[in-house]
Structure 1
Amino acid sequence: MSLAPILASSAAIQFHLAAAVLALGLGSAVLVMRKGTLAHRWIGWAWIGVMLAVALSSFAITSIWPGHYSPIHILSIITLISLPAAVWLRRRGQIKAHAITMVSTFSGLLIAGVFTLAPGRLLHAAIFGL
């Protein structure tokens, strides 16, 4: 493993990666903790904020297809729609729909993370040194 590829990347990529790693940690915590508690709400709001940063910062990255967005950016658009929808569902008392929306959004983060490990991608080079 080497941080060199990450440190050599743009500030946008470094920010996006840091936010994604933080979102992965916060999201995992929210998923395993007791629901409805003050801690769940606070960490959940932090996760929403970080996920917004992940989604928005993705639009500054066009390195897969230089100068163009890639299909993975569709997940960013879905995230920008699903996060406020999940909050709206919770406020309307639709807890099950809220939970499904949040788990689905977290799953999107995991799916995007898997794509970053493909050969030729930055994280593949950093983790596997190839």
Structure 2
Amino acid sequence: MKTSTLIRSLALAPLIVLAAPAAMAADKAAQQSARARFEHDSAVCNSGRSNQDRATCMQEARAALAASQGGRLPEADPSLARNATKRCAALPIDDRKDCEARMQGQGTTSGSAAAGGIYRELVTRTIGPAEPAASGVAPDDLERK
């Protein structure tokens, strides 16, 4: 019995050694992502675009960074994206596609809840049909003939 346990343990040892760098790389990537999110949140706080005063905003950003680094930050709630899409469902079909694109972050966003609303703008350029080529005849000339 003891020999088979020892053999199994020795067989698993290389797998554990090989898995350690991958786990450390994933942890480092998560820390970099948390740091990048903190930098973004700090920029929002300092620009005045949050719906909180600067001190509260920075306190929340630091708390989120600490929670993320400790593995205590929850994943994003998928119901938020569903709710944004539901708001677009009330629009006519022609407008719905643009609304959904704005809700997914395309375009520009300005304003805040504290200022009374968030303005999302998406500019879509479409090319219309080509104008007919000029015939070289003025409209007045056509009437005289």
* Same-fold status (TM-score > 0.5): no
- Identify which of structures 1 and 2 has the higher relative contact order when contacts are C-alpha pairs closer than 8 Å and 6+ apart: 1
Which has the larger share of strand?
A: 2
Q: Work out which of the two has the higher radius of gyration on C-alpha atoms and give 1 or 2.
A: 2
Structure 1 length normalisation: TM-score?
Answer: 0.36
